[in-house]
A and B are shown apart, each in its own frame.
Chain A
Amino acid sequence: MTEASMTKTDMSVSAFLMRRRGRGRFHWTDGLTYAYLLLGLVVMFVPVLWVVVSSFKTPANLAEFPPTILPFSAETAVVEGFDEPLPLFDVVGEDGETVRLAQIRRVGIQAQMIDPADPEAGRIVVPVENATPVRRVYLAFENYTNLLASSGNQIWRYVFNSLFITVVATVITLVMNSMAAFALSKYRFRGSNVALVSILATLMIPATVVLVPTYMIVAQLGLVGNLWGVILPTVATPTGVFLLRQYMLTIPDELIEAARMDHASEWRIFWRIILPLSSPALAVVAIFSILSRWNDFLLPLVVLNRRESYTLQLALASFQTEYGIQYEILLAMTTLTALPLACAFIFLQRYITTGIASTGIK
């Protein structure tokens, strides 16, 4: 009975997975497709999941090899006469019976144990291979609290820096790009083509190629080590202008003419008519801007040379060398850094993918 229902559910699960959306029979290529996609699921998703799971492991658990799949922590017991709690082991005795002992210390292949229930009985020496640690699943949230506490208020500083750069740069980008896009889409004037081409031509200039002079200009403006030093060089994105212009071209000119006859000033036309109507394109530009500012690395690496001005990304990269051994902190911070975008992604996936698909830019 249970078996029958089991196979039934099995079948419906596989039928669900295997059935194609349309009608039609199952073709062998469908099998290949699903096999590939499932492999992709493992390769793409499991590594990140693994980092998240690892970030909840205790240092001892992290040091284990081969690694455990779930985060475990050893059971301990407080034994009279010892200051620290002692880890518990299940020990198979010579008579084949299992007893639960607390380990005092390990010497080579031998371990000194003590019976927590009866400490007076004295130390027992057992071979290591007869003892298995007693463990339970345990989420080490203290990795996160330690991260926040250990660095003092530094971590909040990094978060603030990252947020500040992301938000300010994005707002400026949106306003500046849409102003330029408005001029280039809704006016006929001499020089518009030159302006458009010179803005789009910067698409061809890789940021890394002009790294040195960009740094020089930032230095000349006195902005080395200043958050504005990474904000200003990035705000005039050609892709944003391009995308917004393409969108604004689809807004009928008659609306602008109607507004002009309604005594609206040019700025008012821009602010009250064009901007609200461009909101889908603005959203796409905003998402791309947020993404790239939040994840930016090379420019901040060069410009932000003081610890107080580090972004999360810089701090994370520098943790790797400084706290190299403290994996639990590093993993927790990695998870924290990726978290905001992961959340954003869930809500905005459709926007992002259609934005990329329609423009081919990021």
Chain B
Amino acid sequence: MSAGTQFAAAAGAVVALPARLVEPVMYGLQRLLGIRRMPWVFLLPNLVAVILFALLPVFINVFYSVSGSDRLFPWDRPLVGGANYATLFDCDNFLDPSTCSRDLFWRALGNSLVFVPVQVTAMILIALLTAICLNRDIRARGFFRGIFFFPVMLSPVVVALTWQWILQRNGALNGLISSAGLTPVNWLVFPNTAFFWSVFVTVWAHMGFYTIILLAGLQAIPRDVYEAARMDSATPWRVFTRITLPLLKPVLLVVFILAVIRSVQTFDELYVLTGGGPGSATMLMVQYIFEVGFASQPRNFGLAAAASLLLGVALLIFTGIQMRISRSGRDD
């Protein structure tokens, strides 16, 4: 509370002067429009920003995906119908990316299809385990909670560089391995190990976030339920499966949806850690969009938009199915 008040005081000082100028304007508007229209005045700035940078782009994106050329502005771009989609789907054999004209798209898609389930599963299991441990009657709980949480605060670039430093050929991990008498491995050079570390590093960076949510969920389960279970002499495992998990289900669902959405959007850490490599072994969908739309010459905005729309639709369907499942689960 006191930190909040201090913060408010500081923020107040920063914006006090502009506020002086705003007040007469707002008062004039109130006289002009009447109190009933004032909520719209308050809403306006936010609404404009939302429309300009969130809603409008969705529609423009649709247009991009059906228009061609490397020109940026919509009015310069000729309509090409479904050509961008056709290019993406131009494959002789859908199971073999190298037969596609855009093989990178299919490799990225395939990578994402492996990466997302593996990363989300690992993330939720570890976060749940951590949350359960932190929810126990332990010493220094705040300290441990902080330890598991703090990587969430680090920037993706810092996270990637940190692990790169550890995983590089002469890095700390290989140092440990060689002092144990084993052969050092060039972790980020081989597709399989690079993929493993991609999952590991992203889980490392984000699990604290989900741990906190799950921990809050666990703490919301009333103590007396556990005490009643103890009176019924339930084993710890039964307590976990029959009480903790069912009561945690709504929170788990939220965590699951958030984790999937953000896993699909993974970009920053891997862009710096592996750059999508070796080859295209760790290139995911968002990086593909970035490469096609911004990093390659000529920039192919149409293809990037088509790919991103497919991604968006996939996410929407996924969320819809999840909502449906959760609702049907609540009915019975």
Output the least CB separation between B284 and chain A (Å). 10
Complex contact B156–A297 (CB within 8 A): yes
Query: Are B144 and A43 in contact (CB-based, < 8 A)?
Result: no
The winner among A67, A211, A268 for most chain B CB atoms within 10 A is A211
Cβ contact of A338, chosen from B42, B154, B293, cutoff 8 A? B154
Write out the residue numbers on chain A whose beta carbons fall within 8 Å of the beta carbon of B60.
212-213, 216-217
Question: B94-102, B128-136, B187-195, B241-249: which lies at the A interface?
Answer: B128-136
Contact check, B53 vs A353: say whether CB atoms are below 8 A apart.
Answer: no
Q: Are A16 and B139 in contact (CB under 8 A)?
A: yes
Q: Which residues of A contact B172 (CB under 8 A)?
A: 50, 67
Q: What's the nearest-Cβ distance from chain A to residue B140, in Å? A: 8
A236–B49 touching, CB < 8 Å: yes
* CB-based contact B50/A236 at 8 Å: yes
Whether A297 contacts B165 in the complex (CB less than 8 A), given A198-B50, A271-B19, A282-B7, comes out as no
Name the one of B5, B23, B58, B153 contacting A291, with C-beta atoms under 8 angstroms. B153
Residue tally, chain A, CB below 8 Å to B: 115
Which residues 130-184 of B sit at the A interface, judged by CB distance below 8 A? 130, 133-134, 136-139, 141-142, 144-158, 161-166, 170-172, 174-176, 178-179
Contact of A320 among B153, B179, B272 (CB under 8 A): B272
Decide: B166 and A212 in contact? CB cutoff 8 A: no
Q: Give complex CA distance A356, B254 in Å.
A: 13
Tell me which residues from 303 to 332 in chain B have a Cβ below 8 Å from any Cβ of chain A.
304-305, 308-309, 311-312, 315-316, 319
* B42–A183 touching, CB < 8 Å: yes
Q: How far is the CB of A159 from chain B (nearest CB, A)?
A: 14
**CB under 8 Å from chain B, chain A span 199-228:** 199, 201-202, 204-217, 219-220
B61: interface (CB < 8 Å): yes
Report the interface size class on chain B: 35 or more
Query: Is B222 engaged at the interface, CB distance under 8 Å to the other chain?
Result: no
Is A86 interfacial (CB 8 A cutoff)? Answer: no
Partner-B contacts on A (CB < 8 A): 16-17, 19-22, 24, 29-30, 33-34, 36-37, 40-41, 43-45, 47-48, 50-51, 54, 63-67, 171, 174-177, 179-180, 182-184, 187, 189, 191-192, 195, 198-199, 201-202, 204-217, 219-220, 232-236, 238, 241, 265-268, 270-271, 275-276, 279-280, 282-283, 286, 291, 294-295, 297-298, 301-302, 313, 316-317, 320, 327, 330-331, 334, 337-338, 341-342, 344-345, 347-349, 351-353, 356-358, 360, 362
Q: Considering the complex of A and B, which 8 residue pairs feature the smallest CB-CB distances, nearest first?
A: A357-B216, A236-B49, A66-B175, A267-B26, A213-B57, A295-B155, A180-B46, A213-B60
